[in-house]
Structure 1
Amino acid sequence: MLKPCTRLHACLFATALICAATGVAAQESSRTTRLIVPYGAGTATDIAARAIAEKLAERTGKGVVVDNRPGANGIVAIQAVTSAPANGETLLFTNHSPFVINPHLYAGAGRDVARLTPVSLVTTGSYLMVATPSAGIQSIADLIKKAQASPGKVSYASYGVGSGPHLCMEMIQSSSKISLLHIPYKTGSLTDVVAGQVDVSTEPIANATPFVKEGKLKALAFTDERLPQVLPQVPAVSETIPGYRCDLWLAIFGPAAMKTTPQLSQLNESLRAIVAMPDIQKKIQDLGLVPKWAGPEEVERIVANDSRKWGDLIKQANIKVD
């Protein structure tokens, strides 16, 4: 039989173990997951990330915050993830550009993205090509015809050299053998297109649609699949230029070592369920995007295929950044 003093010590020891275990559990549940976004607040990528973060917090019982890290063409955000532990608590939520465009334009960009693990695709989508009404351009066929008649005179705006909208227009030039005047902007160009200072622009759908509905811009075409739920009468560019496809996507990536951890499959399954939720699907569609889940292997295949496509175009068009 234990002496009273011994029993007391045993009791205290057991209590300490319980408290320690409880403390560890509390610490584990209080850890916060960061979704690092390489763009500023209010962008489509940021809005989608915040919607996903809210649902992910509900499913996991952990805090999930969106951490905006714009700058250096995504390099700042990417490096914050590559240097993080592979525990699923630091993730990159990004569009396609850092993975399939930047490596062909910026030294070291390819090395950086190779150090990340695909987790899940969240959306696919198109851009919307629009024209200022004063340009008299009613369709992609009109755009091509005017450019053929006046090479280098029809102007178009983009979000900068090597941006997705820039490459969409470069693809039209390459496919149709026309010459357009490129006017790159560091920030959005819609104000100048609405004002008639630039003829044409390729824009995120959510940005341009309100101006189209107000009659301040003419919608020419979607750059990938049509979105009749947004603008029912607007065709796809491919209806004029067969085989044309300039799409975009949003996906989540983790550190390289995450590929061999159980957190990868757990997180991927959570994201599959989240993307299927009706309210998330509506939020994504409101951004002019298409909800679409895909696992790591499919994301890896998409990255490889798109990287080849954009790399070939960048080389063919001799696109270089300053």
Structure 2
Amino acid sequence: MQKLHFHLLLLSLSCCFVLALSWSQSQQFSHAKNYEGSSNLVDLDYHMGPVLASPINLYIIWYGHWNWRHQTTIRDFIYSLSSSSSFPSVADWWRTVRLYTDQTGSNITGSIVLSGEFYDSRYSQGRYLSRLGIQSVIKKAVTSHPRALPLNPYNGVYLVLSSSDVQVQDFCRAVCGFHYFTFPTIVGVTVPYAWVGYSGTQCPGMCAYPFAWPKYSGRPPPSTNGGNNIMGAPNGDAGVDGMISVIAHELAEMSSNPLVNAWYAGDDPTAPTEIADLCMGVYGSGGGGGYIGNVYKDSWGNGYNVNGVKGRKFLVQWVWNPVKRRCFGPNAMD
């Protein structure tokens, strides 16, 4: 990563915009915006900035009170990103992300190591977080003694995960997660980071789709044999299984566009369409228009499309493949 040229690439601090995963109901269920099979409509360009090419040291900050089972599921997903599992695996899914390169021809790394965790169970910044306030959460995590996280400006990535009782600016209303980079005036250095919230109690219908049905316009979920046709969560909790797909989305985009000047479509870096945005709501072949696509079912009928460590199964959104010029995942049928 060669320090990602961090300090040469800072934008004006007054901008304070973020790259957000928008899960508005109208986009996802009425007019799902994805481009599977529509390569002529996509103008995905490289803007000469860095990608995360060096091995990533990932640091998790658990903000609030967390269920240990949920934490274990999320850790296992992180471990799965660079571990061998039966095909199609999480690591196989990440290979599409790895196709993206920087101006030197270096690919995004395949090594993602969970290098540290910090537990902010005392809600150091309160139970409501602004977008900018999330950077103060990171500051707390890297300055608390005696168990502070390393402040790693070379190949560190920070993942802030907020618990079910924490409200975050625009969470559930406009976003389920976002990524950006820290400001030296707050954290001390510039490092890429992402935030994702647990939606199981606040807005599962928006951020845990397709494991929960959105409540809007009084429209009920479709019925099959007299029951609601809602896909079961492969790890037993709609909130955490939905959250994992958002984490995957943000890690893919953070790796390919960490400083808002690498891979994205559109002319406006304040509102880019990134490699996962292009495939919103697509998890398998044929997906689009509110249909997630063809995915597998486990012995309990729960949906998944990739395998992980310890026999785990996950459902993660596809990303844009720059070689095939379409949305793609390892469970593709072609």
TM bin (shorter chain) = under 0.3
TM-score w.r.t. the length of structure 1 is: 0.26
Compare the two structures and name the one with the higher helix fraction: 1
Larger Rg: 1
